[in-house]
Amino acid sequence: MAATQARERIIVAAERLIAQQGQAVPLRDIAAAAGQRNNSAIQYHFGSRDGLIEAVVEHRLAILEVRRLELLAEQAGSGRPPGVHGLLEALVVPMFELGERHGIRYYARFLEQIHAHPAVTDAANLGDAGRTSVRVIMQGLDRELTTLPPRLRVRRLRASTTMLFALLADHERALEAGDARASDARVWAEIIDMLAGALTAPVGTRGVVSRDARAH
């Protein structure tokens, strides 16, 4: 029990300090923030910095996965196709609920800091057995965007993850500053609308104007 509690304290401390200072925050600072006198505690529990980052992601996914599957089941039970907005709601609303229901205030900023880490890449999201909901959502979005050229569809789906992390991180900062409320569903809807708009924007036909063309 003591080892489990120590491990969880390290995870929570790592989430906060990485969110605030970036991935390069000294491991000894994380250990100290978790109340660990032994600087090797992180190596003991997680093996490495990468192992710790993966543990933070998996710790939060335990909550997110359950809620996302619930929302997907509700959508399936309604008999109506969820569409892009519905799929994004299933993906994003549980992230907002981390703050509203569980008091988790740093996870989006943590994700913003580690957005290129293998723990949150397409390979991890689509191949991990513990991320069924994310796989279902991303595959559903891919089907919804079949009017786009395949290469552009892939680029937009990848970019949407970066946008999501950034928008949610900004929301967390607004909450911390007192400029927003965790339960404000209007903000949730605005962020989902922005993501949907980026995914479904029409493809331009004019192309990019070259430097030579602009010079004349």
Asked if the structure places residue 25 within a domain, the reply is: no
Instruction: Return the higher-pLDDT residue of 38 and 177.
Output: 177
Asked if the structure places residue 28 within a domain, the reply is: no
Asked if the structure places residue 178 within a domain, the reply is: yes
- State which residues form the domain around 182: 61-201
Asked if the structure places residue 45 within a domain, the reply is: no
For the chain, how many structural domains are there in total?
1
Asked if the structure places residue 128 within a domain, the reply is: yes
CA distance 169 to 109: 5
Asked if the structure places residue 118 within a domain, the reply is: yes
Q: Does residue 19 have a pLDDT over 90?
A: yes
Ranges of H-type helices in the chain: 2-21, 27-33, 41-46, 49-78, 83-102, 107-113, 122-127, 132-144, 150-177, 185-200, 211-215
**How much is the mean pLDDT over the chain?**
91
In the chain, % of residues over pLDDT 90: 81
> What is the pLDDT, as a whole number, of residue 214?
55
Asked if the structure places residue 81 within a domain, the reply is: yes
> What is the pLDDT, as a whole number, of residue 209?
57
Instruction: Return the higher-pLDDT residue of 159 and 126.
Output: 159
